[in-house]
Structure 1
């Protein structure tokens, strides 16, 4: 039997992860309508964000603070195939996303018109979940989003005092 190398295993799970997200959404949408599917999707990604943040904290072996949030989000974005830059700022950090694999999947599936609706809600819920798990002294603000016809997603994470 042929064995998969580590990259093939990563690719397998990455593609499966993204495929199951779209597949379950379309099946729920077909049976119950877009609004119900979207409501459930937003709830799922809020919980998923918490699960991922907790796993990342275990993997990286850190406590809760803004630096852990920064390291964890950078790692998450790298794993999920985002093209982005990140930089520390005076009171937090900024992430600039040049290419979003989730938005690209929406375009590929002929659902670009829904990307704005889904991206605005799901991304906000997901990032808020990461903050609540890793650095609840932070808040974040989208300056722009690719799914809202911007060239980049620009997200500022700011420490609240």
Structure 2
């Protein structure tokens, strides 16, 4: 690193000394583990019971996991419910997961999320499974983002979700609309 001394803390392990991961390295480590675990369990279920069964179980997982993600981010960020809280938390999620995206608040309590780079689509392509990404994306994105919408809905004001375009479906970008 340009001759600069690394000043990160070290820990002793027996007779050896090793440096501690910095926050960026920890985030990268956990992101890689998270995406690897998601893909590995899917492929194991697919091997045992077939693609459609694996996709259905994946849909069920991605109908629940966003609730956990949303609640965690709401707590960390101190965000409320409604479109404003959804925008704040979904931006944090997409930033942490390495998406290329833009969000735009529209008239009448609407939010448009435009994704120009999807790390999940990239992973499918790198793993030689791009031919499955259209089917997976249509099921999983609907499950995931519908769960996000529901989690930020208020008793008297539900948030709806509409998937307008998808990179994995051959579009240039993913366009998701939330209204509430």
Same fold (TM over 0.5): yes
**Which is bigger in relative contact order (C-alpha 8 A, separation at least 6)?**
1
TM (normalized to structure 1)?
0.95
Q: 1:148 aligns with which of 147, 166, 169?
A: 169
**Which range moved further: 89-98 or 128-137?**
128-137
Q: 1:134 aligns with which of 143, 152, 161?
A: 152
Unaligned runs of 5+ in 1: none
Could you say which structure has the larger radius of gyration? Answer: 2
SS at match of 1:97: strand
Please name the residue that 2:59 is paired with.
42
Deviations 1:22-77 (A, max 9, x none): 01111111111111111101101111111111111111113311100111111111
Q: Report whether the alignment pairs 1:30 with 2:51.
A: no
Q: Report whether the alignment pairs 1:61 with 2:54.
A: no
Unaligned runs of 5+ in 2: 1-17
Q: Report whether the alignment pairs 1:85 with 2:102.
A: yes
Q: Decide which structure has greater helix share.
A: 1
Please name the residue that 2:119 is paired with.
101
Aligned residues of 2:55 and 2:136 also touching (Cα < 8 A): yes
Root-mean-square deviation (Å): 1.0
Please name the residue that 2:8 is paired with.
none
SS at match of 2:124: helix
